[in-house]
Structures are given as C-alpha cells and as structure tokens.
Structure 1
Amino acid sequence: MQPDDYFLELPQAFWANVRTISQGLGYTVRARPGQTSQIKVPTADEIVTLYRHLGLSSEHLFPRTGRATELGRTLMEYFPYRAAVLEETAEPNLMDVKEARALFDELRDDLRPRRPFAMNKQRGDKSGPALLTGMVNMILESHIGDDCDYDPRQLTTVTRDGLPVRTLARRVDGAYPAVVNPIAVWEIKEYYHTTTFGSRVADGVYETMLDGLELKELREHEGIKVKHYLIVDSHYTWWGMGRSYLCRIVDMLHMGLVDEVLFGREVVTRLPVIIEEWLDLSDV
C-alpha cells in the first residue's frame, strides 16, 4: 500500500482531528452476531455531536452558517478512503499461517536461497522459520545478494563527513545496503501464532511510529532521506482483532512516517519493484 498524494503533507491539526474522531466514535463498527465489523466512516452529524460532548468546537469543520470548511471536507473524504483501502488492499493480501507457509515453500522452491532462515520464537509444533521474514529475505537475496544487512545488530546511524548526524533509538529488521548510511530500512511484524491482540502487537505499531518520527526529523532538518517500510502479516491478528491498528497504520503512512506498507502477499508483487528503486538510488 502506497500513500495517496492527496492526503500527504496535511497539517498536524488534521491528524489531531482524525485521532480525536477515531477515538471518540471508534475505528470500527461493532458487529452484530454472525456479522463482521466494518471500518467506521463517521458522518458530519456524528462528529458535531462528539465534539459537543467533548466540550470542543466543531466550527472549524462544520460551521453553523452552512457548508463544511476545507478541513472538514478533507476529513469527510479521508475516512471513507481509509476504510476502502483497508478493505480492498490490506484484507485480501493478509494471510494466516497455512497460506503463509504455502507461499514460503513456493518461494523457497523457486528461488533456492543460500542464506539460513531466521527462526520464530514459538515452541513445539509452532516452531520453525519466521515465514514473513523468510519471504522478505529470499526476495532480497534473489535481487541483491549479500549487498544488504539482513539482520542489523546495531542502531541505524547516518553520518556526514565521517561524523554521526543521527542514530535511531531502535534497531530495525533490515537495511539496504547497510545499517550505517542506509538508503532504506524496514520493519517486519508477523503474528501468525498470536491468539489475542495484546500489548506486544500494539507496541509494534508505536515502535514503527517512533522510527518514522526520527527519520522524518532527519529529512526535514538535515535534508537526508532514508526510505522506511513496514511489512506486516496475519489475517487473524490484524483483520480479525486489530482493525483499529490497521487504521493507525494508514494514518501513519499519510503522516509521512512510513514510505510504504506491505501487507502479506504484497511482498511478492511490490518488494521486487521497491528493490529496483533502491538500486537506482544507489547508482546516483
């Protein structure tokens, strides 16, 4: 999933309203028995009522004198857009463990990787290769070989004239071509064996946001661009239990904190295209 340019570079006040409305009215519609919940698309009346309940003015969005303001109109365009891209792009591409294992096996047979696979942290029958990480690394290896840091064991650092300019607070899951002065970094969040949407999954979203804020600050104040990607999977975890966090991910994407989000099967279709973009940048 790539961001829609229309919703990029919006003021922080826009995202303050998005979060206030999403928190107050909910990210999803509560499901009736036998139905699946949908992503919430608030109405103008619901927003006005919410702001009144919160003791806030809604005049900056929907003046009593008539038509919505530009900010109000953009909000009313963003919420259905967010719902649509999640239902049309995220949900169909998310896999659960059986589908992920089948795609992993297919890639392994086709690409015949040389690198050993990272293992998951499960025990017993659930133990084995980290499937999404393995798929990402197989595709990377098939395109760029060893010119990549597949498992950075140090903090990402950007230097200028031999001196450190910024060092990120967290380790990322991969960097191209290296964790020092990378062109791109990425984070992988695979939760195939998770049975509840706990704090560990939620923290994964906020960790990505922290990295994105640091990289955005680097870009704005030093003029240095490091591409930042989030790669996630598990239909049950993200779509079945964590749709509100998928909404937050779409928000984060359009706040400029992530360059692109890959959902499950998208690693096969989008990652090779992204790698070619990195290679072009490395030749500049």
Structure 2
Amino acid sequence: MIADDSWRNQSQAFWNYVRVISENLGYSRSGKVLRHSEKDIRRALIDLNLSTNINVTIGQLVQYFHFRADLIETTIATYLQTPNEARTLFEEVVARYTTSVTSRFNQNGHENARVYTVKNGVPAIAPYNKQKGHKREIDYLTAVSNILISHHLAGEDFDQDPHRLPVVTESGIIQGAMSRRMDGAYPSCVNPLAVWEFKCYYYTTTFGSKISDAVYIASLDGYERDEIFNNTARRIYTTLFLDAYSAWLEQGKSYLCRIVDLLHRGSIDDLAIGAEVLTAIPEMVKKWRSSKLLPD
C-alpha cells in the first residue's frame, strides 16, 4: 500500500503532534487501536503543559487517529498471515510462477535455501529463517516476494541478497551512501532505483527490541534516502515488507501504528503487508521500471 492522499502532504508540525499525543495517550489498549477524541487531545496537551491553540487543527488530528485505527483493523489485519497461511501462499506462488527448484546446503549439510526457476524471470532465492527446531522453515515472505519480483521484472536482474551498502555514484565517485545493508535492491546496490527490507516474525512469541527497531530503522532509511535525493536528485524508492499476524496485530499494535505514521509521513514509499504482496509487487515493479525512463 501507498500513503493515502488525504495525509500524504501534511506538515512536519502535524506529524510532531501525532507522535507526541500518541505517546501521551497511547497507541493501543486492550487489543484495540485507540481513536483519540478532541477532548482526549486537549487533555493531553494540557497534561504536557502545551498550548491547546496549536498550529495544526485538532479536528485533523482526530480524523487521522480514526483513519489510522480503521486502516489497521479493517485493512492491514486482513493481509497479515499466520504461519500456516503464509505457507499456503508460498506453495500457491511456487506452483503458479516457478518450474523447478534446486537446494543450497550449508557446511553441515543442512538445506539453508532453495533457488527457484521463475517463469519469465531470473532465478529467485527462497532462504530459510533463522529459527531453530520445528520453527525452522522457509522465510515465506522473502521467498514469495523474490519470486514475484523476479516474475514481474520479466527477466531483468535484481539483488536478492546484498552484501554491501547502497551507494549512488557518478563517474566512479561516491555521491551518497546509506548506513545499512538492505534485504534487496533493484537493479543493484550501486545506483539503486529501489531498496527494500523484510520484517517477518511468524514464530515470535514476545515482541522484543529487534522487532520494535524496525520502526527506527525505517525512519533512518527514509532520512538517508531523502538526503541522497537532496544532494544528487537521484530518487530511490523504499519499501518495507512485513508479516506475522501475532507479532504485529496481537503483540505489536503500537509499533504498527508508528509504521503507518512513517508511511504517511513519507519515510516509506510502499508498505507491503503479508498477502498484499500479490497485488502490491506488480504495481511497485511498474513504478521502479518507469523511473528508469525519467531524466536525472
């Protein structure tokens, strides 16, 4: 999904108030995303010793908090998958878009990835997750996304497992660089048109710091992407892929709220949630490929 036009161009002041009021009143409670009223917001501002005569309208804030809750509970919730649902989607995508598979093994002789031959695409990597025992499975979100990206790129290559930082260069001189290795890049990590990250925790039983860090990482990526654009006029699309019903909707609603905020603030260009990849990836690939035709 992309940002809703109603909230795409709000001021930084607006997002400052969203952040501070959400922190004071809470993002969720008793399994529900909170919808703050005008009375709630005025109470929070007074509680924080802040003026209620603010430079954004309280009515707008009320509307946004309702929008955010509705988006999570009526749309995002339908896309988030359980492990069994993710496995079923993976098997369906493999059956529809691939023709054969080979296994990769680690030094101990254990399969640690599969490489699928994709119809009209380049080979796609399906890695295993980092879990142990019965939780060790194919990383379904990454596998499905790699297969779909490969198919819709129609033979164009992309970097499915970057081992370097994304950089923007001109005549062999670095003009910009990001701080982290990403999970994927198109067409490569050198002068990428798009980069993306997977945050998928199907078997997580506690919402730890590693998952909550996804919010701050995405914010950093957006900041660095904007810095590169301001310095070089090179546009890099950023996408956050995430899945796992339990982790995000049952344990981490407050962080899911923050991710929705990041999308509408513009720190993320696209947010792909679980089963939504089936419809989101074709549109994203179309956008990436179109950007190759734009003048610098």
TM-score computed with the length of structure 2 as normaliser: 0.87
Corresponding residue of 2:102:
none
Of Structure 1 and Structure 2, the greater strand share is in: 2
The Cα of 1:217 is off from its aligned counterpart by: 2.0
Which residue number in structure 1 is paired with residue 150 of structure 2?
141
Aligned residues of 1:149 and 1:175 also touching (Cα < 8 A): yes
Aligned to 1:80: 66
- 2:21 corresponds to: 21
TM-superposition CA deviations, 1:104-127 (whole Å, max 9, x none): 011111111324421111111111
Deviation at 1:283, TM superposition (A): 4.0
Secondary structure at the counterpart of residue 153 of structure 1:
coil
Decide which of 120, 125, 145 is 2:134's aligned counterpart.
Answer: 125
What's the counterpart of residue 107 of structure 1?
93
CA contact (8 A) 1:202 1:245 kept: yes
C-alpha contact 2:237 2:288 (8 A) present in aligned 1: no
Distance 1:8 1:161 in 2: 35
Q: Which runs of 5+ in 2 are unaligned?
A: 99-115, 118-123
AA partner of residue 74 (structure 2): E
Q: Is the 8 A contact 2:27 2:254 kept in 1?
A: yes
Letter in structure 2 aligned against 1:131: Y
| 1:258 counterpart = 2:258 | no
**Given the alignment of the two structures, is residue 48 of structure 1 paired with residue 63 of structure 2, yes or no?**
no
SS of the equivalent of 1:262 reads: strand
- Conserved 8 A contact 1:216-1:256: no
Instruction: After superposition, give the CA deviation of every residue in 1:199-236 in whole Å (9 maximum; x if it has no partner).
Output: 01001221111111111222234322100000100000
Cα-to-partner distance string for 1:151-204 (whole Å, 9 max, x where unaligned): 110000011343111110001110001111111111110100100111010012
Match of 2:79 among 93, 108, 123: 93
**What is the percent sequence identity of the aligned residues?**
39
1:259 partner letter? D
Mapped to 2, the partners of 1:160 and 1:11 lie a distance apart of 33
Pair 1:116–1:42, CA change in 2 (3 A): closer
- What CA distance in whole angstroms lies between the structure 1 residues aligned with 2:218 and 2:97? 29
Confirm whether residue 231 of structure 1 aligns to residue 217 of structure 2. Answer: no
What SS is found at the alignment partner of 1:136?
helix
Q: CA deviation at 1:5?
A: 2.0
| Per-residue deviation, 1:21 | 0.7
Q: Which residue of 247, 250, 253 maps to 1:243? A: 253
User: Matched residue of 1:117: which SS?
Assistant: strand
- AA aligned to 2:13 is A
Q: Counterpart of 2:69 in structure 1: which amino acid?
A: A
**Do the aligned partners of 2:97 and 2:151 also contact (CA within 8 Å) in 1?**
yes
What TM-score do you get using the length of structure 1 for normalisation?
A: 0.91
Letter in structure 2 aligned against 1:49:
R
8 A Cα contact 1:25 1:50, kept in partner: yes
Return the letter of the residue paired with 1:154.
R
Correspondence for 2:53 among 59, 66, 72: 59
Counterpart Cα distance in 2 of 1:159 and 1:267: 31
Query: Where does structure 1 lack aligned partners over 5 or more consecutive residues?
Result: 32-36, 62-69
Output the CA distance in 2 between the equivalents of 1:200 and 1:133. 18
Q: Give the whole-Å Cα distance in 2 for the aligned partners of 1:142 and 1:49.
A: 52
Q: 2:38, 2:59 within 8 Å by CA — same for their partners in 1?
A: no
Which residue in 2 is equivalent to 1:218?
228
Please provide the CA RMSD for this pair: 1.5
Q: What is the CA-CA distance between 1:81 and the residue it aligns to?
A: 1.0
